[in-house]
Copies of this chain bind each other. A is one copy, B any other.
Amino acid sequence: MCPRTRSRALQDLFLPIEWLDEGKVRFLDQTLLPQEETWVETADYRVVAEAIRRLQLRGAPLIGVSAAYGLALAALESAATDAEALRRDVTEAADVLRATRPTAVNLSWALDRCLRALESASDAAGARETLVRTAREIHEEDVAANQRIGAYGAELLPSGVSVMTHCNAGALATGGYGTALGVVRAAWTGGQLRHVIATETRPLLQGARLTAWELKREAIPFTLIADSAAGSALRRGLAGAVVVGADRIAANGDVANKIGTYGLAVLAKENGVPFYVAAPTSTIDLSLPSGDEIPIEERSADEVTSVRGVNIAPNDIDAANPAFDVTPNAYVSAIITENGVARPPYEESLRRACEAGVPARG
CA distance A359 to B305 in the complex (A): 39
A81-98 with Cβ < 8 A to chain B: none
A312 part of interface (Cβ distance < 8 Å) = yes
A326 part of interface (Cβ distance < 8 Å) = yes
Question: Is there an interface contact between A222 and B313, defined as CB atoms closer than 8 Å?
Answer: no
Given A224-B305, A228-B201, decide whether A314 and B259 contact each other with a Cβ distance below 8 A.
no
Q: How many copies altogether?
A: 2
Residues of B within 8 A of A222 (CB): 317-318
Interface residues as binary, A211-249 with B (CB distance below 8 Å gives 1, 0 otherwise)? 011001000011111111111110100000000000000
Question: Is there an interface contact between B262 and A216, defined as CB atoms closer than 8 Å?
Answer: no
Question: Is there an interface contact between A226 and B223, defined as CB atoms closer than 8 Å?
Answer: no
Question: Is there an interface contact between B321 and A226, defined as CB atoms closer than 8 Å?
Answer: yes
| Shortest CB distance A167–B (Å) | 9
| Shortest CB distance A250–B (Å) | 15
Give the interface size class of chain A: 35 or more
A21 part of interface (Cβ distance < 8 Å) = no
Question: Is there an interface contact between B231 and A312, defined as CB atoms closer than 8 Å?
Answer: no
Task: Identify the stretch in A65-73, A110-118, A122-130, A263-271 within 8 Å (CB) of chain B at 4 or more residues.
Answer: A263-271
Q: 16 more A-B contacts (CB under 8 A) besides A200-B304, A229-B321, A310-B310?
A: A34-B314, A208-B304, A208-B312, A212-B313, A221-B318, A222-B318, A224-B313, A225-B320, A226-B304, A229-B322, A229-B325, A231-B263, A232-B259, A233-B320, A307-B308, A308-B312
Query: Could you list some 19 contacts between A and B, CB below 8 A?
Result: A34-B313, A208-B304, A224-B304, A224-B317, A228-B228, A228-B263, A229-B259, A229-B322, A230-B263, A231-B260, A231-B262, A232-B262, A232-B325, A232-B326, A266-B266, A307-B307, A307-B308, A307-B312, A310-B310
Binding site for B on A (CB under 8 A): 34-35, 199-203, 205, 208-209, 212-213, 216, 221-233, 235, 258-260, 262-263, 266-267, 270, 304-305, 307-314, 317-322, 325-326
